[in-house]
Amino acid sequence: MNSFISLTLAALVGISLAQFNYSYPDCANGPLKDTVVCDTSKNALIRARALIQMFTIEELTRNADNLSPGVPRLGVPPYQWWSEALHGVAGSPGVTFASSGNFSSATSFPQPIVLGATFDMELVKAAATVTSTEARAFNNAGRAGLDFWTPNINPFRDPRWGRGQETPGEDPFLTSQYVLNLIDGLQGGIDPHPYYKVAADCKHYAAYDLENWEGINRSDFDAQVSLQDLSEYYLPSFQSCVRDAKVASVMCSFNSVNGIPSCANSYLLQKILRDFWKFGDDRWVVADCDAVENIFEPHNFTQSRAEAAAAALRAGTDIDCGTTYSAHLPEALNQSLITRADLEQALTRQYSSLMRLGYFDPPASQPYRQLDWSDVNKPDAEKLAYRAAVEGLVLIKNSHFLPLSGTERLAIIGPYANATTAMQGNYFGAAPFVVTPLQGSVAAGFQAQFAHGTDINTSSDAGFEEAMEVARSTDVIVFAGGIDHTIEDEANDRLTITWPGNQLKLIQQLATLGKPIVVIQFGGGQLDDTELLVNDIIRAVIWAGYPGQSGGSAIFDIIAGKEAPAGRLTATQYPATYTKQTSMTDMSLRPSASSPGRTYKWYSGKPVVEFGHGLHYTTFEFSWRRQPPSHYDIQHLISSAQGHTPLDLATFDIFQITIHNTGRVTSDYVALLFLSGDAGPAPRPNKSLVSFNRTHGIKPGSTSTAHLQVTLGSLARADERGDLWLFAGSYRVILDAGKGVLTHDFVLAGSDTRIVNWPQPFL
Tell me the sheet residues that pair with 293: none
CA-to-CA dists, residue 246 to 112, 251, 278, 586, 646, angstroms: 20, 14, 9, 31, 14
Strand pairing class (409-413; 447-451): parallel
Print the SS3 string covering 602-641. HCCCCCCECCCCCCCCCCEEEEECCCCCCEEEHHHHHHHC
Q: Which amino acid is at 715?
A: L
Q: Single out the residue of 730, 761, 691 nearest to residue 231, CA to CA.
A: 761
Distances (CA, A) of 65 to 54, 68, 99, 318, 603: 18, 6, 29, 9, 42
Q: Give the phi and the psi of residue 242 in degrees, each rounded to 5.
A: -85, -55
Residues 358, 361, 367: CA angle, nearest 5 degrees: 60
Q: Omega into 646 within 30° of 0, i.e. cis? A: yes
Residue 249 CA, distance from chain mean position: 15
What is the SS3 assignment for 175? Answer: helix
**What residues contact 694, with CB distance under 8 A and at least 6 apart?**
118, 119, 120, 391, 566, 668, 669, 670, 671
Q: Which of 120, 184, 282, 288 is catalytic?
A: 288
Q: Give CA angle at 508 (502, 514), nearest 5°.
A: 150
> Beta partners for 685?
none
Output the furthest CA–CA distance in the chain (Å, rounded).
80
> Does the annotation count 648 as an active-site position?
no
Measure the CA–CA gap between 128 and 146, rounded to whole angstroms: 14
Between the two ends of the chain, the Cα-to-Cα distance in Å is 39
Residues 6+ apart with CB under 8 A from 652: 632, 637, 710, 711, 712, 714, 715
User: What SS3 class is residue 212?
Assistant: strand
Per-residue H/E/C for 401-414: CCCCCCCCEEEEEC
| Residue 394, beta-bridge partner list | 543
Helix (H) or strand (E) holding 236: helix 236-239
CA pair distance 327, 309, nearest whole angstrom: 9
Residues annotated catalytic, as ranges: 288
